[in-house]
Amino acid sequence: MLRLGQLAAAGRLLPAGPRLGPPRPSGGRVSLSRSRPPAPVGDRGFLARQVRAAAGSSGGGRSPALKTPKGTRDHPPAHVALRDRLLAAVVTCFKRHGAAAIDTPVLELRETLTGKYGEDTKLIYELQDQGGELLALRYDLTVPFARYLAMNKITNMKRYHIAKVYRRDNPATTRGRYREFYQCDFDIAGQFDPMIPDAECLKIVHEILSDLQLGDFIIKVNDRRILNGVFAVCGIPESKFITTCSTVDKLDKMPWEEVRSEMVGEKGLSPEAADHIGEYVQLHGGLDLIEQLLQDPKLSQNKLAKEGLGDMKLLFEYLTLFGITGKISFDLSLARGLDYYTGVIFEAVLLQPENDHVEEPVSVGSVAGGGRYDGLVGMFDPKGRKVPCVGVSIGIERIFSILEQRVKAEMLYKKDPKLLKQLQYCEDTGIPLAAIIGEQELTDGVVKLRDVAIREEVDIPREKLVDEIRRRLEP
């Protein structure tokens, strides 16, 4: 994914000094290593051009608006190549774990998606009624998988599915959140010994995030039954479990005080019940916490919570055998918004921005998530026959956003560009390093590396250039 091989260029060196004096003799050509974007990254260039183009078209009135729909983007060849490499790595892992690929339509009957996503149902794209069936765009790959299993009466399958899904979400393209994005799902359907498939899903997340070298990460794990047990012992009526769950799920984005006031104000819980919930959902730890909660006088009396805690203990035993507990956190604040989870749930988050040079760190949120949904297939089966399932979805789009800005290099497409203009461009756009090669540098076998911000330059032997750039761009 590093494009440093493209850095070779020819030009004359501009000395450090006054901000922008008179242009130097032309002939310079600069390669720019960019990793300090001052504004939304990713397809920033495209966006700017879109805006210009759209503004241009509004005057003429003959051209349509020149843009992609809100929250979507085009992928130029370099994006597609990077994405294909990423997807290939994920597929390799999925296949290593014995999964086979299926594909389902982007379109589903609306009724197929109804009642599966809780509050997120409003984010489903619906197609216009043009006569015939009422359709919608798939929101994820899990519900179509459950439909597929029920339709084909399959009770045992390990499958992966890599495809685009659609959500009318508030796009945050700088954080890699789009309205159209790829999901990479791995799921295991079938009746097996407890927690073995669940442990394999966590192992897969661990393998993929390690392989891709995204930096430190943690996989939060919880169980819907434990959460529901907590709600029960805190005196919440069962009818409010799901809505309370949605509120707890916001704990990763807002402080407890705000979550508490949503519980009391919007969801109608008593302040005492909310406080009681707060004592539990702010806990996180490992086996020790599981043991502690198994001894909890109230929770240990709750059948659901006891089952969930017992399974969580078993899961941690398998994860210990896999040697991955170092990255696993049993976290009672993890709730996950979707209705269909019935047991273990998990979510992987990166622990820090991957690059200090980025002034506005890319907060990519979770990069993988999933859980157990033993009831979903039964919702489709005419006789309600259940097929236990557990699965994980890799947030490839967010990972893509991170990798995309790791080290990016560009070069002005002019045969005879002014060097000063190029350096100005670097300063304007926050590009941290400029690599400059003129005749002297060619003769000397070096590259002049300029720190754009402090305007300092140093000659680097060509064979050490890549290492030097990596070193300077490291967090």
The H or E element containing residue 403 is helix 396-404
- Residue 299's Cα: distance from chain center in Å? 33
Q: What are phi and psi of 361, to 5 degrees?
A: -60, 145
Closest approach of Cβ 140 to a second copy, in Å? 15
**Which pair of tokens denotes residue 300?**
């240990």
Q: CB-wise, 60 or 297, nearer to a second copy?
A: 60
Q: CB-wise, 88 or 321, nearer to a second copy?
A: 88
Closest approach of Cβ 370 to a second copy, in Å? 21
Residues of this chain that bind a second copy (CB under 8 A): 46, 49-50, 53, 56-57, 59-60, 62-70, 72-77, 79-81, 83-84, 100-109, 111-112, 114, 125-130, 132-133, 135, 137, 147-148, 150-153, 159, 164, 166, 168, 179-180, 379-384
Instruction: Report how far residue 329's alpha carbon sits from residue 308's, in angstroms, rounded to the nearest whole number.
Output: 15
**Which pair of tokens denotes residue 441?**
């540098």
Exposed e or buried b for every residue in 25-59, given b needs 16+ CB within 10 A?
eeebbbbbbbbbbeeebbbeeebeebeeeeeeeee
Instruction: Report how far residue 38's alpha carbon sits from residue 94's, in angstroms, rounded to the nearest whole number.
Output: 37
Closest approach of Cβ 40 to a second copy, in Å? 17
Q: CB-wise, 412 or 420, nearer to a second copy?
A: 412
- Residue 252's Cα: distance from chain center in Å? 14
Q: CB-wise, 157 or 293, nearer to a second copy?
A: 157
Closest approach of Cβ 429 to a second copy, in Å? 18
Q: CB-wise, 67 or 455, nearer to a second copy?
A: 67
CA end-to-end distance (rounded Å), the chain: 18
Instruction: Report how far residue 325's alpha carbon sits from residue 357's, in angstroms, rounded to the nearest whole number.
Output: 31
Closest approach of Cβ 162 to a second copy, in Å? 10
Q: CB-wise, 16 or 127, nearer to a second copy?
A: 127
Closest approach of Cβ 134 to a second copy, in Å? 9
Asked if 418 contacts 24 with a C-beta cutoff of 8 angstroms, the reply is: yes
Q: Which residues contact 319 (CB under 8 A, 6 or more apart)?
A: 199, 202, 203, 325, 328
Instruction: Report how far residue 169's alpha carbon sits from residue 181's, in angstroms, rounded to the nearest whole number.
Output: 11
Q: CB-wise, 70 or 303, nearer to a second copy?
A: 70
**Which pair of tokens denotes residue 43?**
């397809």
Least Cα distance to 25 among 16, 12, 41 occurs for 12
Q: CB-wise, 67 or 240, nearer to a second copy?
A: 67
- 154: number of Cβ within 10 Å: 16
Instruction: Report how far residue 286's alpha carbon sits from residue 219's, in angstroms, rounded to the nearest whole number.
Output: 12
User: What is the rounded (10 degree) CA torsion for 39, 40, 41, 47?
Assistant: -110
Q: What are phi and psi of 331, to 5 degrees?
A: -130, 110
Q: CB-wise, 166 or 341, nearer to a second copy?
A: 166
**Which pair of tokens denotes residue 316?**
């941690």
Closest approach of Cβ 397 to a second copy, in Å? 12
Q: CB-wise, 8 or 106, nearer to a second copy?
A: 106
Closest approach of Cβ 44 to a second copy, in Å? 13
Q: CB-wise, 57 or 320, nearer to a second copy?
A: 57
Closest approach of Cβ 136 to a second copy, in Å? 9
Asked if 165 contacts 140 with a C-beta cutoff of 8 angstroms, the reply is: yes
Closest approach of Cβ 405 to a second copy, in Å? 19
CA atoms within 13 A on the CB side of 141: 27
Closest approach of Cβ 127 to a second copy, in Å? 6
Q: CB-wise, 147 or 398, nearer to a second copy?
A: 147
Closest approach of Cβ 53 to a second copy, in Å? 6
**φ/ψ bin of 77: left (φ > 0), alpha (ψ from -120 to 50), beta (otherwise):** alpha
